[in-house]
Structure 1
Amino acid sequence: MLKIAKEQEISIFISSHLLNEMEILCDRLIYIHKGEIIDDQSNIEVEREKVTFSVKVTPAELAKEVLKDVVIDIDTQNQNIIIESYSGDIPFLIKKLVEHDMMIYSFSPQSSSLESKYLAKISGDY
């Protein structure tokens, strides 16, 4: 469906409460609350949002060294590294770790999901 829409240069409007899926599917997100548009952003803007995540990786100190020049901030906690970067850079960072033969055991976002961002936007009922 998305391939056809792109080929034929048409838009598809999807209304959903499954925000995690919409974040993956859509190239533009419009937040609507009580019939009012409260935010409108493209995935390019979403990809440039800063995110913080924890990666359980071994060896953690080597991972920190490998990534230090390509992230905004990085720190270690036990076998985890805490990374602040841009959301669009996540696949590149994982690839870089794998290329250096690092073992990745978990990857956990610590910053807001799309759903929590939406809930923050509607708090106070605009």
Structure 2
Amino acid sequence: MADIKKALEECGALQFGDFTLASGAKSNYYIDIKKASTKPAVLALIADEMAARMKELGIEPDEVAGVVLGSIPLATALSLKTGINLLMVRKERKDHGTGKLVEGDLKEGDRVLVIEDVITTAARP
């Protein structure tokens, strides 16, 4: 984790100050994960850590999903690192093309690990 913190600081994604988060909560730091995910080396470190945590926790999904837009790079990096198929989830169904809400090969009964790009507490509901 120290490597990720250093990488986030170096690329300018880890910021300190007074921030209001999407939840309305206040924080003295903010991680601009979109900025971090545009840096290949930082994205690779994040994927390495996610893969290590999956292994540590015994998480073995059939698919890894990212929600458009922010978590797609994170989910893609994890998919590339682990070889687990990727799903891309739209925020809303399109009324053209195939009209799919989920891109990829989602099958009934699949176990899906959803990667999110915004968290405030990391607590389980």
- Asked whether the two chains share a fold, i.e. TM above 0.5, the reply is no
Query: Which structure is higher in RCO with an 8 Å CA cutoff and minimum separation 6?
Result: 1
TM, length-normalised to structure 2? 0.27
Higher helix share: 1
TM, length-normalised to structure 1? 0.26
Structure possessing the higher radius of gyration over alpha carbons: 1
